Amino acid sequence: MSARWDLLPPDRYMWASVQTVRGCPKHCSFCSVWRTDGQEPRQRQVDRIVREVVELRRLGFRFIALADDNFYPVTFDDLAMARRRKDPARLHELEGLRQERFDLMAQLAQLPDDLVFYTQITMEAAEDPEFLKAMRAARIRGALVGVESVTSEGLKDVYKGFNLSGDALVARLRAFRQHGIHVLGSFIFGLPSDRADTFDATVDLAERADLTFAQFVLLTPFPGTIDFDKWAADEKHRATAIDGVPITRHWLIPQERRPKLYADHPTLSLEEIRVRTQGAWDRFYSWRGVWARSRCVESLRSRLAFVLVSKLYRQMYANTGIATDSARVARSARFAQVIGRAARRLFLAPPMPDLQMPAPVAEPGNEATCA
């Protein structure tokens, strides 16, 4: 089913979203997606996806998020494992899903040039140059990549051993930019292996990896995750309450009353984690840093737009459990509204009511060859 975009206020949204695949084969400890949506990726039919995108462009949306659990559901490792197990049925299934990804991108590439897509993807896509090339042709200009930690110990903390760390991580992230795909790197602070120098080291790596955007979030045990199950099993947490509500039922606690951090850390105080996380945001989104990264676009107008969007993104995260000063949060929210109204004009385009569906996808060729 396509979303009923006609029911939404026409002057309130900067971009639209379309889901193309559901389910993620990973099992990250902090993530509920693979438990709620399953670990078996299921893709919508390509023509239905494209039809919804065409309808959105007819309405005037030109920035569209492909709001998937993982836009790269089949990795080279998945294919290699099916071959090692001599499982032709599974291999055929995986190859078919991979080909569907290429078919979708081939269709998107035929749509108007002013369309811009962005999505969420695992870092493993960086080892697949053919896939990145197809993403660029489809004008998928940005991707949120869950980096989580810059150390191997931190990756083990969150069951994400398939990611890289150190210089290898920098090279992997730069591969996206080399194919014209801007990365929003997502990092988690408050992991048991984090130390006082982890915060600056993370920002250093984000800058070395040439990330266009970054977000630094606090470890939160959301319901439905492995982290939550382990955290809620602790008698100390079950006995702690706010206004009579156990913190293990934190979604019932008013947002302004919820704790900023939920679990004790072996070496850092919770306040130190909060302050250092705030410092990472402030350092990465300093005026000098944002202006330097704005070189990724060419014209002065585009660079000013980049600065505006960067500051908007920073302000949108002022009330995500980091800031404790209610006055600062309120100012930040008002500032975000002002920036948002100005930035919205940069995202929309004149409607194209007569836009037609692109030609059908050609028979599979060499686009999805598997190394």
Confidence of residue 329 (pLDDT cuts 50, 70, 90): low
Of the candidate ranges 145-154, 263-272, 355-364, the one whose mean pLDDT is the lowest: 355-364
Sheet containing 182-189, strands listed edge to edge, beginning at the edge strand earlier in sequence = 16-18, 63-66, 116-121, 140-148, 182-189, 213-218
Q: Identify the residue with better confidence: 371 or 136.
A: 136
Which string of DSSP letters, residue by residue, matches 136-167? HHTTEEEEEEEEE-SSHHHHHHTT-TTS--HH
In the predicted model, is pLDDT for residue 323 greater than 60? no
Return mean pLDDT, the chain. 87
* Bridge partner list, 296: none
Of the candidate ranges 83-97, 167-181, 320-334, the one whose mean pLDDT is the lowest: 320-334
Task: Give the mean pLDDT of 163-180.
Answer: 90
Whether the CB-CB separation of 4 and 35 falls below 8 Å is answered with no
CA distance 289 to 7: 40
Q: Which domains does the chain have, with CATH numbers?
A: 5-220+261-284 (3.80.30.20), 290-349 (no CATH)
Confidence of residue 346 (pLDDT cuts 50, 70, 90): confident
Task: Give the mean pLDDT of 319-343.
Answer: 63
Of the candidate ranges 37-51, 140-154, 312-326, the one whose mean pLDDT is the lowest: 312-326
CA distance 353 to 340: 26
Task: Give the mean pLDDT of 356-369.
Answer: 66
Task: Encode pLDDT of 256-285 as tens digits.
Answer: 788 877 888 999 998 899 899 999 999 999
Confidence of residue 321 (pLDDT cuts 50, 70, 90): very low
